[in-house]
Each structure stands twice: as structure tokens, then as C-alpha cells.
């Protein structure tokens, strides 16, 4: 029997189901599914058509409320997010998705040229930034790079036990009390929080917090761990930073009574984030109400503006 032509499923009238199917070969090829959030209908349609031609499954959202709902309900491989949106702007949409544990890579689009806006977007949890007008080829190249990175958790605020650290604001809290750290203490805590429940050698810590001019046999790491413990540990309680004799240090995310038997394992558990309650579907969301059309270069000679 002749092979059936591969078909792509439809979601809300837009290409975006999860697979292509070839029955004769019994193959299932996964389609990369993208959410495009753009309030200008003309730009949104150009992006939708172009991405479908590139083989992507595409869903559209025309405002921030709908974008937040779709991004919370569907596991997208990537999100193309315009900054200026009705309802909720791109900063707020991205920050709320991250707070809900939704880690699809976000490519933020904007006509703004202010560097502070780019910094704010990246600190809100965006993974990349593309100013308008842009080349469609560059957009797809950036999407491919983001999809390769995957959707592993990348929390904006790092936490372990009662300690929280905000890398962008360069702030640390013990429960709700701000903690003043020196630059090296902050860098050491940041490194430990990026590797929770992993044993880090003194050499590894020196390489990432200091530089190769420091002798790995010196006691500078031990000194700064002591400084850090004085500031982040509960008075009279257990230390968050364990000493693993002959190896290095480990930041614990749980109490010793909860630890597994293999206390000195190097690889720790995957960080998880509890999701907040999901909102219901937006009612009466509309597209096309916002800033004017922004130029989109679809090729070397074709530009839309």
C-alpha cells in the first residue's frame, strides 16, 4: 500500500499538534511547537506562515492574558514573545510563566532600543532578545538554538532552605531578612546554589570564584565558607554548607534526617518548582489592538513594514 502523505495536526485552527505521522514507515517525527505572542495581526500572520513553512507547529496569542494562559497550559518548545502587549506586557508574562515553573525558552521581540529594557527582559527570565525590525532567517536561527537548550528549570531566584539569592539584583535573604555579603561571599553562595546537593571540590570553587592565580592548596575557600556560614545559618542550627572531608563542600537543600544513605554523592536531585494555580481561559481576548505594524524582513529582498 502506498505511503500516506505526512499530516500535521491542527490546534485552534493553527498548525501546532505534536507529531507528523508516516503510517507506512511506522515513524513518528515530533514537530517543534512554538507559541507566537504578537498583538499586531499582520506581523503575527507573517510569523505564523513563515514558521509553518519551516516545519514548526504554531499557536498564536494576541494579548498578554491569553499568552499567559496558553504558556501555562501547553508545553511549548519555545515562545516568541512581543514586549508591548495589551493586558499584560511581555515582562510580566515571562516573569509569571517562570514563577509557575514553565521553562519553555523565550525569545523576546521589541521595537524598543533602550538597553535597560533588554536587561529587564532577560532578568525576568527571557532567554534571548531580538530587536525589530529583524531578519526572519535570524529569528529561526535563534529559535533553533533555544530549542537545542531545552526546557530545563532556570529559576531567576535561586533558593535552598531559608536562603534565597537574586543574581540580577545582587541580593540575598535569610527567610525575609536581607543578608549583606561581600562580593566573594556572594559569588561563593551563587556557585553553591547553582549546584545544589553536589560536592564541589576546593579546586573547582577556586576556579569559578577566584582565578587560577590562587593556589588550590591554600585555605581561602575554607575561610570564606566559615564567613558564609556565620551569615546564612540558623543560630544553633544545622549548617546549610556541609564539609565533605578530603573533597570539598556541598550545599544541602534538605535536613540531614531527610538525606539518602549515599551522603557523599556528587550528582544531586533535579531542582523542581511548585507551580501556582492555573488561570482559566481568557474570555474575549482580542488581537490587533496595540502598537502599529513593525517591519519584518522575510528575506534578502522581501520586507514588510
* Same domain membership, residue 81 and residue 17: yes
Q: What is the pLDDT of residues 255-272, one digit of tens each?
A: 555 444 444 444 333 333
CA 143 to chain centroid, in Å, comes to 14
* Same domain membership, residue 145 and residue 37: yes
Query: What pLDDT, on a 0 to 100 scale, did the predictor assign at position 281?
Result: 52
How far is the CA of 107 from the CAs of 88, 138, 219, 245, in angstroms? 17, 12, 43, 44
Query: Within a domain: residue 272?
Result: no
* Same domain membership, residue 146 and residue 169: no
* Same domain membership, residue 224 and residue 101: no
Query: What pLDDT, on a 0 to 100 scale, did the predictor assign at position 282?
Result: 56
Read off the CATH number of the domain in which 149 is found: 3.40.50.2300
CA 285 to chain centroid, in Å, comes to 26
Please give the order of strands across the beta sheet that includes 27-30: 7-11, 14-22, 27-30
Query: What pLDDT, on a 0 to 100 scale, did the predictor assign at position 120?
Result: 87
Q: What is the pLDDT of residues 63-120, one digit of tens each?
A: 999 999 999 999 999 999 999 999 999 999 999 998 888 889 999 998 877 888 888 8
What does the chain look like in DSSP terms, one character per residue? -PPPPPEEEEETTEEEEEEEEETTTTEEEEPPEEEEE-S-HHHHHHHHHHHHHTT-EEEEE-SHHHHHHHHHHS--SEEEEESS-SSS-HHHHHHHHHHTT----EEEEES---HHHHHHHHHTT-SEEEESSEEHHHHHHHHHHHHHH------SSEEETTEEEETTTTEEEETTEEE---HHHHHHHHHHHHSTT-EEEHHHHHHHHS-TTS-TTSSHHHHHHHHHHHHHSPTTS--SEEEETTTEEEE-SS-GGG--S-TT-SS-PPP--PPPPPPPPPSS--SS-SS----EE-SSS-EE-
pTM strictly above 0.85: no
Query: Within a domain: residue 265?
Result: no
Average pLDDT over residues 32-54: 94
Do the beta carbons of residue 126 and residue 106 sit within 8 Å?
A: yes
State yes or no: pLDDT of 245 exceeds 70: yes
- Domain of residue 63: give its range: 7-155+293-304
* Same domain membership, residue 145 and residue 167: no
State yes or no: pLDDT of 47 exceeds 90: yes
Q: How many domains does the chain have?
A: 2
* Same domain membership, residue 27 and residue 80: yes
Do the beta carbons of residue 22 and residue 4 sit within 8 Å?
A: yes
State yes or no: pLDDT of 297 exceeds 70: no
Query: Within a domain: residue 108?
Result: yes
Instruction: Point out the least confidently predicted range of 34-43, 106-115, 132-141.
Output: 106-115
Of the chain, the percentage scoring pLDDT greater than 90 comes to 40
Do the beta carbons of residue 41 and residue 288 sit within 8 Å?
A: yes
How sure is the predictor about 280, in pLDDT bands with cuts at 50, 70 and 90? Answer: low
User: Could you give the dihedral angle defined by the CA atoms of residues 66, 72, 73 and 76, in that order, rounded to the nearest 10 degrees?
Assistant: 100
Query: What pLDDT, on a 0 to 100 scale, did the predictor assign at position 119?
Result: 87
* Same domain membership, residue 47 and residue 194: no
Query: What pLDDT, on a 0 to 100 scale, did the predictor assign at position 235?
Result: 77
Query: Within a domain: residue 42?
Result: yes
Read off the CATH number of the domain in which 222 is found: 1.10.10.10
Residue 133 preceded by cis peptide, ω within 30: yes
Average pLDDT over residues 275-301: 45
Q: What is the pLDDT of residues 181-231, one digit of tens each?
A: 999 999 999 999 988 899 999 888 988 888 766 666 678 999 999 999 999
* Same domain membership, residue 146 and residue 123: yes
Query: What pLDDT, on a 0 to 100 scale, did the predictor assign at position 97?
Result: 92
State yes or no: pLDDT of 41 exceeds 60: yes
Query: Within a domain: residue 264?
Result: no
State yes or no: pLDDT of 57 exceeds 50: yes
Q: What is the pLDDT of residues 138-190, one digit of tens each?
A: 999 999 999 988 767 667 788 888 898 988 778 899 988 899 999 999 999 99
Query: What pLDDT, on a 0 to 100 scale, did the predictor assign at position 286?
Result: 42
* Same domain membership, residue 77 and residue 216: no
Place of cell 505521522: 21
State yes or no: pLDDT of 13 exceeds 90: no
How far is the CA of 271 from the CAs of 154, 171, 229, in angstroms? 9, 21, 22
Query: Within a domain: residue 27?
Result: yes
* Same domain membership, residue 187 and residue 57: no
Query: Within a domain: residue 263?
Result: no
Query: Within a domain: residue 216?
Result: yes
Query: What pLDDT, on a 0 to 100 scale, did the predictor assign at position 54?
Result: 92
* Same domain membership, residue 35 and residue 137: yes
Query: What pLDDT, on a 0 to 100 scale, did the predictor assign at position 155?
Result: 72
Average pLDDT over residues 115-126: 86
In the beta sheet, which residues pair with residue 25? none
* Same domain membership, residue 236 and residue 144: no
Amino acid at each position: 500500500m502506498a505511503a500516506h502523505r505526512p499530516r500535521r495536526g491542527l490546534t485552534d485552527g493553527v498548525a501546532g499538534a505534536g507529531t507528523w505521522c508516516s503510517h507506512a514507515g511506522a515513524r513518528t517525527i515530533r514537530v517543534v511547537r512554538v507559541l507566537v505572542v504578537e498583538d499586531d495581526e499582520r506581523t503575527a500572520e507573517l510569523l505564523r506562515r513563515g514558521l509553518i513553512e519551516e516545519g514548526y507547529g504554531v499557536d498564536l496569542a494576541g494579548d498578554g492574558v491569553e499568552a499567559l494562559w496558553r504558556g501555562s497550559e501547553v508545553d511549548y518548545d519555545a515562545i516568541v514573545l512581543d514586549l508591548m502587549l495589551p493586558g499584560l506586557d511581555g515582562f510580566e508574562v515571562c516573569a509569571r510563566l517562570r514563577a509557575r515553573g514553565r521553562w519553555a525558552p523565550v525569545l523576546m521581540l521589541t521595537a524598543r532600543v533602550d538597553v535597560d529594557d533588554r536587561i529587564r527582559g532577560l532578568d525576568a527570565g527571557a532567554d534571548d532578545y531580538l530587536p525589530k525590525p529583524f531578519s526572519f532567517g535570524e529569528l529561526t536561527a535563534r529559535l533553533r538554538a533555544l530549542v537545542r537548550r531545552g526546557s530545563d528549570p532556570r529559576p531567576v531566584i535561586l533558593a535552598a532552605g531559608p536562603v534565597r539569592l537574586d543574581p540580577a539584583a545582587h541580593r540575598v535573604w535569610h527567610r525575609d531578612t536581607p543578608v549583606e555579603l561581600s562580593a566573594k561571599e556572594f559569588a561563593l553562595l551563587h556557585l553553591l546554589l547553582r549546584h545544589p546537593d553536589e560536592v564541589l571540590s576546593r579546586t573547582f570553587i577556586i576556579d569559578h570564584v577566584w582565578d587560577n592565580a590562587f593556589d588550590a592548596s591554600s585555605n581561602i575557600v575554607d575561610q570564606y565558607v566559615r564567613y558564609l556560614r556565620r551569615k546564612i545559618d540558623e543560630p544553633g542550627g544545622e549548617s546549610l554548607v556541609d564539609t565533605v572531608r578530603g573533597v570539598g563542600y556541598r550545599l544541602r537543600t534538605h535536613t540531614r534526617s531527610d538525606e539518602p544513605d549515599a551522603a557523599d554523592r556528587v550528582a544531586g536531585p533535579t531542582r523542581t518548582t511548585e507551580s501556582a494555580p492555573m488561570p482559566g481561559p481568557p474570555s474575549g481576548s482580542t488581537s490587533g489592538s496595540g502598537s502599529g505594524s513593525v517591519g519584518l524582513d522575510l528575506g534578502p529582498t522581501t520586507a514588510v513594514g
